[in-house]
Structure 1
Amino acid sequence: MRSFKLFQSTFLVTGCAALLALGLGGTARAQPAGGAACNPAADGSNPCPRKLHLHTQQPLSTMATVGKAMFFDPALSGSGKFSCASCHVPSLHYGPAGKASVFMGGVTGDREGRREIPSLTYLERQPPFSIGPDDAVADDVAPTIAVPVTGGAHAAKSASNTASSAANLVPQGGLFLDGRADTLHQQASGPMFDPDEMAGLPEKVTARLQTADYAAPLRDLAGIRGRKSSDFLLSEGLFALARYQIEDQKFHPYSSKFDAWLQGNARFSPIERQGYLLFNDPKKGNCAACHVDTVRGDGLPPLFTDHQYEALAAPRNPALTHTHDASYYDLGVCDQKPGGRKELAPYCGMFATPTLRNVATRQTFFHNGVFHSLEDVMDFYVLRDLEPGRFYPKGPDGKVQAYNDIPAAYQGNIDKSDAPFDRKPGEAPALNEAERKAIIAFLQTLTDGWTGDATQADASVTPQKNP
């Protein structure tokens, strides 16, 4: 995690959860062995290309085929108008369409969702939720729950040195922005039955699973128990949705220009190269501290997330109706269960660090969808504490209400000490405007479906195609 006050633990509670499978400096990191980063050459090429461990598309299983049919079936919703694909649009990398901060759903389509819509891509390696040692590159975090008790110093974390922060106890893993589900099977039931989203009713969904075109194969797969128990049939349907997301490579294609560059099949443009260096420079963007961009030792491509959680203090979004209630706060991790604001107080205000893959195609950012462009996001990262009046409103006393969407009791959890959040008023920002634009240019190389550019690709190799 980047900075926040975290508490050390006096004991660990070990559990078990099954996983079905959100800098320009030129800092030298050219060490390709063991998953380390490799700086691009002056011409934008990769001087130490890697062989990536990529899965090829196999025919979908019968269960996954059922899940695909369910994914596009609006009859599963209470209104009969919304399917999973209504929020998670395939052509937009299974993310939302438009600039609306949240989805308008419910039975009549006029209920406001609680949070912005995340992408469903690149969840195949998501570990279960835990609170434990900080390991920025692990996809298989031990399912450990560390119980925080007393305060202690928090070691800083940077893109080039994660060893110093390994002793930190941090929330990590899980699905949704607060980590409340451990598997895609569990996750599927959330939006389907949420009255503000698909607003499905269990009995009506189960009836649909018995009459739809895909009912027969699902019934066969559910067997005798499925014919006797509607709850079991529903569980099998949710499992089918999970299998579809795991088996279909469109949910995790690794087909961006960056992936081609990793394999030596593409060259960065000058501004993309500059952005990559800034992204990794611990004194500049420091983005890779949380959005890990190195290839693992086993050849698995980077997910651009460390699966952890951050309290970045995004401004309250006045466009959302529920924020008009002054007592309303969405505090992320500590709201994932009743009593969490006391039990998990050191993590209140923290939300999942999303993957940055395909981020350039999004139009809503942060848990409340308060920003609508990467330019806005980069400005906030760099200028939050230097120009707070640019992002936060003024109160009746004329003073800027900084961190206005996190109660004062939890503002100690906010990241204030790691670049680019380590600047004080009057100091120069970690990134100037041109450097912020360069990072955005690099982020655009993370969009899947890159088909090659004759002016940048190495003519001796064939660029990776969109599957």
Structure 2
Amino acid sequence: MSVFTFLACALLLTACGGGSGGASSSGSAAEPVADSQLSAQAALGEKIFRDTSLSASGKLACASCHNPDNAHAQTNDLAVQLGGPNLDVPGFRAVPSLRYLNLTPNFFFAADGTPTGGFDRDGRAGSFAIQAARPLLAPHEMGNASKADVVANLKRASYAEQFRQIFGAGIFDDADAAFDRITFALQQYQKEDGDFHPYDSKYDQFLAGKLKLNDAELRGFALFNNPAKGNCAACHISSKGADGSSPLFTDFTYDNIGVPRNMRIAATANPAYFDLGLCGPDRLDLNTRTDLCGAFKVPTLRNVATRKVFFHNGRFTSLRDALGFYVRRDTNPEEWYPLAADGSVMKFNDLPPQYWSNVNVTEVPYNRKRGMTAALSADEIEDVIKFLGTLTDGYK
């Protein structure tokens, strides 16, 4: 299909292609900005989201790792963040952005058996509220020993009386009930505050007919959609929905692409440690589905150009390298995986051998063989990067 055809598709807004993080030691977050559009519960959730005193260290808030000024993602390039009472306990997965999650469906298996939806990188959480609970309690995140400890911290906060007014004078008498209200408030904040889903990128304005993309961005867009080239739109849908809704650049499905092991994660010092996504170790209900081992949720690509690390294990620290891995994983595996003593490439080294067959090797661009030409050239990767830059929020 020609570039002209793809650009025409873009202008017609039709599809042209195919089918919780750890904590950081960044300290207190910026002061909240009043939003008269938020409900009382959501406005309270914003205060909770930014409150470092709710952590065991007294220095960590939700906003420390999910910084509003960096698309609600991390601001450093650590593979995993540090948390716990002394901010010295390393996590296990890279911090995901919290942007554009409000339309995430509950986890389900589609008619063809495809796992879809759910919060967290393995889809184990069914709502914002459930997702919010773990960071408050995880030893490698905010590090509270119990729900009662979280509630006790909030009871001393400056907005404790506001919490009582909203949820009842006796709310602090029941730690479980109070903790549930904390996570509910966090949920409402993320659902209601437009900063989590502003749809104001250059691409959104392009779709609205308010501006044009430049030549490099249009070339990148065509490559992004082209099923014989980038084929990115197969999972990262770039067209408007049938109801005219703005694209989320994810289909909420899961994929196993054999991301290389990241030795910057402390847990990988143990050769027996593997993060298998859908089948564990965090998610337990699918641990017998060995066909799903190694699969992680397809993230939105909105704001991807602002990310500091890429993939569930933070293996790459540049968008260029992440895209290079996508298209050269199989044509030039020696660039991404370690070599064995005999000089052979140890592909898919972050999976036990019995799960190597789960890795996607059939869809473009993963259908290449060693020595073949990559699906995208270096110049084409640069054009795709230019297009992905148009997905950054706040374009003016």
From 270, 284, 287, the equivalent of 1:341 is: 287
Q: Match for residue 188 of structure 1?
A: 132
Deviations 1:156-175, CA, capped at 9 Å, x for gaps = xxxxxxxxxxxx32111011
In the alignment, the residues of structure 2 paired with residue 361 and residue 407 of structure 1 have an alpha-carbon distance, to the nearest angstrom, of: 32
Match of 2:60 among 62, 82, 85: 82
Bigger CA drift: 264-273 or 421-430? 421-430
1:97 maps to which of 63, 70, 75:
75
Q: 1:232 to 1:339 in 2, by over 3 A?
A: closer
Q: In structure 2, what is the Cα distance between the partners aligned to 1:389 and 1:86? A: 36
Tell me which amino acid in the other structure corresponds to 2:141.
E
Query: Measured at CA, do residues 24 and 83 of structure 1 come closer, stay the same or move farther in structure 2, by a change above 3 Å?
Result: farther
- Determine the structure 1 residue equivalent to 2:88: 110
Contact 1:192 1:198 in 2 (8 A): yes
Kept in 1, the 8 Å contact 2:128–2:187? The answer is: yes
1:392 aligns with 2:337: yes
Residues 397-412 of structure 1 mapped to structure 2, 5 A cutoff: 397-412=342-357
8 Å CA contact 1:30–1:37 kept in 2: the answer is no
Secondary structure, counterpart of 2:114 in structure 1: strand
| C-alpha spacing 1:339/1:298, structure 2 compared with 1 (3 Å) | closer
C-alpha change, 1:346 and 1:225, in structure 2 (3 Å) is farther
| 8 Å Cα contact 1:132/1:169 also seen in 2 | yes
Q: 368, 373, 376: which is aligned to 1:431?
A: 376
Q: Is the 8 A contact 1:106 1:199 kept in 2?
A: yes
Residue type at the aligned position of 1:100: L
Q: Name the counterpart of 1:174.
A: 118
Partner in structure 2 of residue 123 of structure 1: 101
SS, match of residue 346 in structure 1:
helix
Partner Cα distance (2:192, 2:392) in 1: 20
CA distance in 1, matches of 2:61, 2:291: 37
1:251-266 to 2 correspondence within 5 Å?
251-266=196-211
Contact map agreement 1:219 1:233 (CA 8 A) in 2: no
User: What is the rounded CA distance, in whole Å, between the counterparts of 1:348 and 1:58 in structure 2?
Assistant: 45
| TM-score, normalised via structure 2 length | 0.91
Quick one: distance in 2 between partners of 1:406 and 1:387? 19
Q: Does residue 367 of structure 1 match 2:345?
A: no
Shift in CA distance, 225/127, structure 1 to aligned 2, threshold 3 Å: farther
Deviations 1:12-39 (A, max 9, x none): xxxxxxxxxxx97555584689962389
Output the amino acid matched with 1:304: F
Alpha-carbon displacement from aligned partner over 1:297-349 (angstroms, at most 9, x marks no partner): 2221000000111101110011111111111100001114336332x211110
Q: Which runs of 5+ in 2 are unaligned?
A: 18-34
Residues 96 and 33 of structure 1, relative CA distance in 2, 3 Å threshold: closer
Q: Distance in 2 between matches of 1:434 and 1:198?
A: 43
SS of the aligned residue for 1:329 comes to coil
Q: Distance in 1 between matches of 2:285 and 2:126?
A: 19
Equivalent pair of 1:25/1:284 in contact (CA under 8 Å): no
Query: 1:169 is paired with a residue of what secondary structure?
Result: coil
Change (3 A) 1:328 1:26: farther
Q: Return the alpha-carbon distance in structure 2 between the equivalents of residues 253 and 305 of structure 1.
A: 16
Q: Which piece of structure 1 moves more, 410-419 or 269-278?
A: 410-419
Larger helix proportion, structure 1 or 2? 2
Equivalent residues of 1:420, 1:430 under 8 A apart = yes
1:293 aligns with 2:222: no
Give the Cα separation in 2 of the matches to 1:211 and 1:108: 21
What letter is aligned with 2:230?
A: G
Whichever residue aligns with residue 256 of structure 2, its letter is: A
Cα distance, 1:230 vs structure 2? 1.8
Closer/same/farther in 2, CA of residues 33 and 378 from structure 1, 3 Å limit: closer
The yes-or-no answer on 1:450 pairing with 2:384 is no
The 3-state SS of whatever aligns with 1:333 is coil
Tell me how far apart the structure 2 counterparts of residues 203 and 280 of structure 1 sit (CA, whole Å): 50
- 2:219 aligned with 1:274, yes or no? yes
User: 1:213: how far off?
Assistant: 1.8
Cα distance 1:72–1:84, how it changes in 2: closer, same or farther (>3 A)? same
Task: Point out which structure has higher relative CO (alpha carbons under 8 A, 6+ apart).
Answer: 1
1:192 partner amino acid: L
Q: In the alignment, residue 386 of structure 1 is paired with which amino acid? A: T
Whether contact under 8 Å (2:164, 2:170) holds in the other structure is no
Q: Percent identity?
A: 41
Following the alignment from structure 2 to structure 1, what is the Cα–Cα distance between the partners of residues 10 and 369?
Answer: 36
Distance 1:242 1:36 in 2: 33
1:98, distance to aligned residue in structure 2 (A): 1.4
1:284 to 2:229 alignment: yes
Amino acid at match of 1:104: L
Structure 1 letter corresponding to 2:283:
K
Aligned pairs for 1:238-257 within 5 A:
238-257=183-202
Tell me how far 1:222 sits from its aligned partner.
Answer: 1.8
Aligned partner of 1:36 among 11, 14, 17: 14
* TM-score for both structures, normalised by structure 1: 0.77
For residue 234 of structure 1, report the CA deviation from its aligned partner: 1.2
